[in-house]
A and B are shown apart, each in its own frame.
Chain A
């Protein structure tokens, strides 16, 4: 079966712009989480969604937002981009109410570079 699909794979944006990243989970998976990975901070938790509801949110400013659709696909948006937002953004899906039961399947990520 198809894995977790993230689009686009690479993205270059200018400071001040906004960006939308997309994630399609494995078919049947209803839980989607987002992570930001940087060399300095490592993997930082952004959000977790289950059945279109945000269940958890990490410690990120309000410029970072997300949503999940009825087909479990998810998007995250970053407004007013800053240089420090340059990172690998990873999406992960899980079968049911969270990775604590089943573990996550990750996508290959979107590499965002802010210039």
Chain B
């Protein structure tokens, strides 16, 4: 079963614009992670935010976490064509051992 659910399912923007993706989850978590996947290849770990953190930055990425709303957002600033990929949030539910469970992802398309 899916723990996280991303929104929107698909997003198309122009180069230079910002892209925002949202993730909602169902149960309390230890941390939330974001991954990127390019065209059916392996996933790449982008950023991890712990349940006691509210915001985290990594380069052009900004992640926020609101545990009261059970939601997170990933912001990519000044998007580039190379950012075209699927983005997934993943969580480890506190009561479900250590298995990392992924949402269905947001497909981002950045055109030049």
Contact = CB atoms under 8 A, between A and B. Distances in A.
Given A99-B33, A100-B31, A103-B33, A33 B99 contact: yes
B98 A55 contact: yes
Given A59-B1, A90-B42, A48 B98 contact: yes
Interface of A: 4, 33, 35, 42-43, 45, 48, 55-56, 58-59, 88, 90, 92, 97-100, 102-109, 111
Size bin of chain B's contact surface: 20 to 34
Contacts of A102: 48
B30 A100 contact: yes
B99 A45 contact: yes
B103 to A, nearest CB: 7
A58 B24 CA distance: 21
A44 to B, nearest CB: 8
Contacts of A106: 35, 42-45
14 contacts: A35-B102, A43-B104, A55-B97, A55-B98, A98-B92, A98-B98, A99-B92, A100-B100, A103-B33, A103-B48, A104-B100, A106-B42, A109-B41, A109-B42
B56 to A, nearest CB: 13
